[in-house]
Amino acid sequence: MATYPKKKRVDLEEKETDSSDGQEEMDDENIGDDDDDFLESSDEEVNEEVEIEFEAFPPQDNDFHGIKRLLQHLFSRTKVNTSQLTDLILSQNHVGCVLKQSDDQLVEESDSDDDNDDDVFGFTTVLNIIEKKNTECIQEIHKLIVDKCSTCNSEAEVNELSQILGDDSRNVGLLLCERFVNIPPQLAPPLHSSLQNDIRIAGAKNPQMKFDYYLLMSRAYQQPQLPSSKKKTKAQDINEWIFTNAEDGIFFKESVLTLHYPSQIDQAGAVDGKWKDDDTEMKTFRVVMVVPASKMNNILAEIQEAFAV
């Protein structure tokens, strides 16, 4: 798989420490939501500007803890087996990539005391959730989104989602693109383009990699809204959301079905890793989107136009 170095100036907060090797899953009380642990790991503000050259690599076994840590942000305070989900991702390392510090830069910093050669700053992949529907972690994800969405979406919307997820005649891919909050959105175009290229290559050999729909679970924030009796348009609806991954707004616009549910009771402020006293108070959500695979070329073009350097 081709790599693509991108050099950016990024304010990186101190990353949360990984769980011990012997701990199968982190306790619910210890898993922060939306990088809370990542942002609150130090009481002191980190102002140092760090220049990192990012490069994409195929996922390897030594990326297990880095990928799992990012999955725990997405599935925090849930019963989803993120260890098993990570194993599924590693089992198909020909699709997707992990975002790490470039080898050349690591060589230059080899005299550093930090053992950061296995740090994963982000990853992309897609899993066929119809093919793997009998896998425990996929069943847990299915149950999670249906149960959670049932509490704050219409019955018709939830039934439509359940029908799509339960239709064996269509391939539905769980599209995952997770990264730390301070990773620049300019990396989104190559990450998504590379993933789609991997899917095309894999699909030429395996029909199960030819997807009809993509399912996305996006981390998002919503400002408090006054209740309205009028049905909102898609354009009005998207303006209520601030997505942790900025490109998810483009997926939202192209989706055929969108649902949401609150991810925790606590409220949040800024989403860019810098918290201020006067930040607008926002609620934390997961936005569930079903996107036709036929829309992907348009989505890639829009992501390129919006975020490419």
Asked whether the predicted pLDDT for residue 42 surpasses 80, the reply is: no
pTM for the predicted model, two decimal places: 0.78
Give whole-number Cα distances, 222 to 7, 168, 271, in Å: 31, 34, 11
Res. 126: pLDDT tops 80: yes
Summarize pLDDT for 55-74 with one digit per residue, the tens.
999 999 999 999 999 999 99
CB atoms closer than 10 angstroms to residue 161: 22
Question: Checking DSSP bridges between strand 50-57 and strand 97-101, what pairing results, if any?
Answer: antiparallel
pLDDT at residue 309 in the model: 78
Quick count: other Cβ atoms within 10 Å of Cβ 164?
17
**Residue 86 CB neighbour total at 10 angstroms:** 23
Cβ proximity of 174 and 164 under 8 Å: no
Q: How many CB atoms are closer than 10 A to CB 6? A: 19
Is there a contact between 193 and 300 (Cβ–Cβ < 8 Å)?
Answer: yes
Question: H helices within the chain, ranges in order?
Answer: 36-40, 64-74, 82-91, 103-108, 136-149, 155-165, 188-205, 234-238, 248-254, 296-307
**pLDDT attached to residue 44:** 52
pLDDT score of 51: 73
pLDDT at res. 132 = 96
Q: What is the tally of structural domains in the chain?
A: 1
Q: What is the pLDDT of residue 240?
A: 84
Domain that holds residue 187: 6-307
- Domain membership flag for residue 1: no
**Average pLDDT value over all residues in the chain:** 80
